[in-house]
A and B are shown apart, each in its own frame.
Chain A
């Protein structure tokens, strides 16, 4: 089903289309909501965002993909939720970014590797993805990332949204987005290294 057909069916209230859309979008919506309001209130935000999506669908103008538009609604819903609670929006917090980089004991004071990367048993994504233990470890690592890092990683590397789209959805600067992405990828690299290094 192409996107226009899906939108037409959603506006018409087609249950199968709702089911397919919820299945496809729900996880990404939850990552965005958790990144902004935290895990405790994310389910409520996603619920409210779905209602806004259904109300606003007839006005959707296809200037972005449906998913990007839906994620922007999640972001707006989450921010208004925070405002109602008198909480500040803290995406891309600098301290959070600084504190979660690669362990500094990996490098000497002169910037050379103190503990250089070790060779891996498996060197291709196909091999790594074929290992259930590794897949589980990667998902566990992703689940333990700070919310903002996880949202950027999921949206960029898994959902393959652009930096511009992610910055708009999460309201972070381009440089924060790049740092958050790099920190998150580094955590995953370290997790694979931990299991793979000879």
Chain B
């Protein structure tokens, strides 16, 4: 029987469908009885969906300008 600690460790693999059939059955069996782990799984799933809804921080306009200028210069020098 898996412990709550085991469940925590396996949760990303469970959500990414990376567990074997036996591990998956044991995971679900634990979930059936454990209210705390049910809550953990729901919160972890929400955490991942929240992360996927974040937008990557864009570089500053200064960084973009400097990089583009360097690339254009590089290209001119290549010719």
Contacts and interface: CB of A to CB of B under 8 A. Distances in A.
Interface of A: 13, 15, 18-19, 22-23, 26-28, 30, 47, 50-51, 54-55, 102, 106-107, 110-113, 116-117, 119-120, 123-126, 128-129, 135, 138-139, 153-154, 157-160, 163, 178, 181-182, 185-186, 188-189, 192-193
B78 interface: yes
Contacts of B70: 47, 50-51
B36 A113 contact: yes
A135 B72 CA distance: 36
A46 B68 CA distance: 13
Interface string B10-46: 0111001010000000000000000011011011101
Contact of B51 (A18, A123, A182, A185): A185
A109 B37 CA distance: 17
Interface of B: 3-6, 8-9, 11-13, 16, 18, 36-37, 39-40, 42-44, 46-54, 56-59, 63-64, 67-68, 70-72, 74-75, 78
Which secondary structure characterizes the binding site on chain B? helix
A11 B65 CA distance: 19
B54 A23 contact: no
Given A26-B63, A116-B36, A117-B39, A154 B56 contact: yes
Nearest to A122: B46
